Amino acid sequence: MGIRYASAAYRELGGMLRRVREKTGLSEGGLARKMGWPLTKISRMENGRRTSSTTDVIQYVVMCGMTLREAQPLLELTRQAERKQGYYLSDRRIGGSLQSLIFHESSAEHSVIYEPQVIHGLLQTPNYARALITAVKPNIDESRVDGAVRTRMERRRILYLPTTPAFTFYIHEQALRLRIGTEKIMQEQLLHLVLTAALDNVTLRIVPSVIGERSALGGAFHLMEFHEHRTIVYLENLCDGGLILEDPEFVQSYHEVVPMLADTALGEGQSRMCAP
């Protein structure tokens, strides 16, 4: 069934289905003919503008050569989308919260990010990211650390694309003062922060500690605004999962925090002076 509003969960599901189809070398038309479906059904499933049922998804992926065992993460996301709760938890079996986050931030028109404790992932250097990951998960296998750092650095490339969306970062001053790794790692990280802030599509503003309780604006969040879709908010946790909020009532409270951040944060010029 076609829908006017494409939810974040169905958009993410559609993107995953598209990748499954493209991996087989099938075109939209080729898959539609193979399944005996209208081309519009395939198109709407892949752009999230159809309330795809679990049966639809099973038939789609099996026709693309997947086993039901391989398709379980897709089916779980389908069930979450069908619940229409206004939020969903990204599943680490699908590749962790980072895959969901990369999908949505890549298609957003503008992202507003608040980070009160550490340098945000999009702004991290490889050494800072490695030191932070191993500190949070001291028993993690080295190969997994390498993979996590590599994924973070690949994700960071979105800031340098010709058609990249706009990013506004609000970083609390305590994130600059908290030492992650060695002094050398921190110096390298702060220099990278200043250089990244010079990009045309990046606005970096520091929330100063000197204003006291006025700088205590809650936990980290990533608010994403889209041209054709509702605003969503991504909240990260330490268990490789992430909560994605899309119900306007859930998102509103974060919308209200943004002007508060704008009022309390230093200007761009002052922020660049603060970073070193």
Q: What is the pLDDT of residues 38-72, one digit of tens each?
A: 999 999 899 888 788 888 888 998 889 888 888 88
Are residue 31 and residue 138 in the same domain, yes or no? Answer: no
For residue range 78-93, what is the model confidence (pLDDT) as tens digits? 888 887 777 776 654 4
Q: Are residues 119 and 254 in the same domain?
A: yes
Task: Give tens-digit pLDDT for 130-188.
Answer: 999 888 887 888 888 888 888 888 888 889 887 778 999 999 999 999 999 999 999 99
Task: Say whether both 22 and 50 belong to one domain.
Answer: yes
Q: The domain containing residue 12 runs over which residues?
A: 8-84
Give pLDDT, residue 30.
92
* pTM metric for this prediction: 0.78
When divided into structural domains, the chain yields a total of: 2
Residues 74 and 33 in one domain: yes
Domain co-membership, 65 together with 170:
no
Residues found in the chain? 276
**Where does a domain end: 54, 84, 114?**
84
Distance CA 115, CA 169 (A): 8
CATH of the domain at 181: 3.30.870
Q: Which residues pair with 176 in a beta bridge?
A: none
Q: What is the CA radius of gyration of the chain?
A: 20
The full DSSP string for 170-188 is: EEEHHHHHS--S-HHHHHH
The answer to whether residue 1 sits within a structural domain is no
Q: Are residues 180 and 107 in the same domain?
A: yes
Q: Is the pLDDT of residue 212 over 70?
A: no
35: domain CATH number is 1.10.260.40
pLDDT band at 75; cut points 50, 70, 90: confident
**Does some domain include residue 2?**
no
The per-residue pLDDT for 92 is: 46
What integer pLDDT is reported at residue 240 of this predicted model?
54
**What is the C-alpha to C-alpha distance for residues 78 and 148, in angstroms, rounded to an integer?**
26
